[in-house]
């Protein structure tokens, strides 16, 4: 006995089987961001009053650059996932949903790429 309607069977519209993975990835990125944000806030407090060169020296240290890269990557990926949920819930037109989903992916990828490039340029003294 199936709980699907005859129209649902004909159209083949059912679960995409991706909701659970999306849920868990969003939660994992959120949990990863907690210690990274605590680290960032603590470092910003320590850098209060520091000059530009001090901040650049701070980001040029390997562990600080690695943690900053992890923060940027996890942050932008978490942002993409969160906005995707909002778009899926509140944008009802299929065309607009596709366009905003593509824009979301592009903006988050571009922002992440620019941020990663900036951190790497500072870390390697460019």
**In angstroms, rounded to a whole number, what is the distance separating the alpha carbons of residues 95 and 61?**
46
Tell me the whole-structure pTM to 2 decimals. 0.83
Residue 19 is predicted with a pLDDT of 74
Average predicted confidence (pLDDT) for the chain = 91
List, for residues 25-40, the tens digit of each pLDDT value.
Answer: 999 999 999 999 999 9
pLDDT value, residue 82? 96
User: What is the pLDDT, as a whole number, of residue 56?
Assistant: 94
Q: Residue 5: left if φ>0, alpha if ψ -120 to 50, beta else—which one?
A: beta
Query: How would residue 52 be classed by pLDDT, with cut points 50, 70 and 90?
Result: very high
Residue 32's nearest CA partner among 64, 65, 73 is 73
């Amino acid at each position: 006995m199936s709980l699907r309607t005859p129209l649902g069977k004909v159209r083949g519209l059912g679960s995409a089987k991706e909701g659970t993975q999306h849920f868990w990835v969003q939660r994992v990125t959120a949990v990863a961001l907690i210690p990274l944000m605590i680290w960032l806030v603590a470092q910003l407090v320590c850098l209060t009053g520091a000059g530009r060169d001090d901040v650049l020296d701070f980001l040029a240290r390997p562990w600080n650059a690695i943690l900053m890269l992890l923060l940027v990557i996890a942050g932008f990926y978490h942002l993409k996932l969160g906005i995707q949920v909002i778009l899926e819930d509140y944008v009802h037109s299929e065309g607009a949903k596709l366009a905003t989903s593509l824009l979301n992916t592009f903006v988050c990828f571009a922002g992440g790429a620019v941020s990663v490039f900036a951190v790497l340029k500072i870390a390697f003294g460019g």
